[in-house]
Structure 1
Amino acid sequence: MGMTLRTSEEQAAALRRQAAAEGRSMQAVALSAIDEYIARRTHKSKVDSALKRVVAEEAEVLERLKDA
């Protein structure tokens, strides 16, 4: 599926420089950045869910530690 991505002149120039530095196309660098962003957000969501679960499951222990 295609899409058009509109960037500022500064973003386009930075992307062009990064692509040249890596010897890759601007598209490849942009797609890599999107993939990394999605992976980070997915990981953060999983960590947040795990933290909420642990806090809920261990609320009593955490309360006792707070008073220790």
Structure 2
Amino acid sequence: MAMTLRLTDEENARLDELAAAEGRSKQEVLRLALNDRWARMHKEEQLGEVLGRVLPRYRALLDRIGTV
């Protein structure tokens, strides 16, 4: 899908610098950044789900450790 992205001159310069440093196209740098951000978001969601299951199980122990 085609898309138009409007960047400030400073953002475009940063993108140019990243692309040159990594030997990638600007498009590839942006796609990788999108994928990285998406993966981090989903890892945070997964962590929240795990903590939601684990913390209640160990709440008493955590409370005792917190008061030591």
- Shorter-chain TM-score tier: 0.7 to 0.9
Equivalent residues, number: 68
Corresponding position of 2:61: 61
| Structure 1 segments of 4+ aligned residues over 6 angstroms from their partners | none
Mapped to 2, the partners of 1:2 and 1:64 lie a distance apart of 56
The runs of 5 or more residues in structure 2 that have no matched partner are none
Corresponding position of 1:48: 48
Instruction: Give the alignment's Cα RMSD to 1 decimal.
Output: 1.7
Q: Percent identity?
A: 37
The runs of 5 or more residues in structure 1 that have no matched partner are none
Report the residue type matching 1:49 in the other structure: E
SS of residue in 1 equivalent to 2:6: coil
Corresponding position of 1:36: 36
Corresponding position of 1:26: 26
